[in-house]
Amino acid sequence: MATSGTVSFDLNIDEIIEEGYERCNIRTNSGYDLKTARRSLNLLFSDWGNRGIHLWKVTLKEQLLSAGVATYNAPSDCNDILEAYVSTGSGIGASITDVSLSKIDRSTYAALPNKGSTGQPSQYYVNRQTTPTITLYVAPDASTYTYVKYYYIGRIEDAGAYTNQADVVYRFLPAMCAGLAYYLAMKKAPQLVQQNKLIYEDELKRALDEDGQRASVFISPQTFYGDGV
């Protein structure tokens, strides 16, 4: 039996909107229908930012360090920083050494002494403002470790033009269409809200469960060594 031989299926924004309306048994007939659906789609993407880590939006950023400077702006699309490490150079190579940093919260950072002292950083704090920042402790002296590299979660791009494709990987297409149908039902077909919500949450759970890293996890207690007293 012949198959297509392709794996390129995707949906344009207008096709996503059409699918959402069809699931609400509504035919789009005005420019405002398209506009309100696109707004709902952007709100759906914002909600996904609260639903967990989406692997296709995890990006590695390399930041050149300046001696004595502890705080650096993250990219404008950054939602949060997952992991960070200091490095002796840019990229990956046999001569480059990386040292992992521990993530701390605001209270822990506030309690740290001598924030202006310099040396080899061992911790980092993320200030999640409109434009997030990453702060290293201690401030780098930039003599050996000249870069901080970190993986951050980026925001899903806006829907934009109706001819665009959504900034969503194929495995989340069913959840995206179901989510838009649910959002549209709240505005256009209230009798279908509960039905579409159940379908959406089911589709999204499956997508989030699948969107993980298949690797073993080992948890070890942190060990502290006293002064022998």
Span 96-153, pLDDT tens digits: 999 999 999 999 999 999 998 999 999 999 999 998 999 999 999 999 999 999 999 9
CA distances from 140 to 100, 121, 124, 188 (A): 14, 6, 11, 55
Contact 85, 99 (CB under 8 A): yes
**What average pLDDT does this structure show over 192-217?**
89
In percent, the amount of the chain with pLDDT more than 90 equals 83
Collapse the DSSP code of 128 into the 3-class scheme (helix H, G, I; strand E, B; otherwise coil) and give the result: coil
Q: How far, rounded to the nearest angstrom, does the alpha carbon of residue 30 sit from its chain's CA centroid?
A: 34
- What's the whole-model pTM score? 0.86
**What average pLDDT does this structure show over 64-74?**
96
Residue 216 has pLDDT above 70, yes or no: no
Rounded to an integer, what distance in angstroms lies between the CA atom of residue 73 and that of residue 67? 16
Residue 211 has pLDDT above 70, yes or no: yes
Q: Hey, what are 94's tokens?
A: 């046999």
Rounded to an integer, what distance in angstroms lies between the CA atom of residue 140 and that of residue 198? 50
Q: Hey, what are 75's tokens?
A: 């990219």
More confident: 128 or 229: 128
Residue 214 has pLDDT above 70, yes or no: no
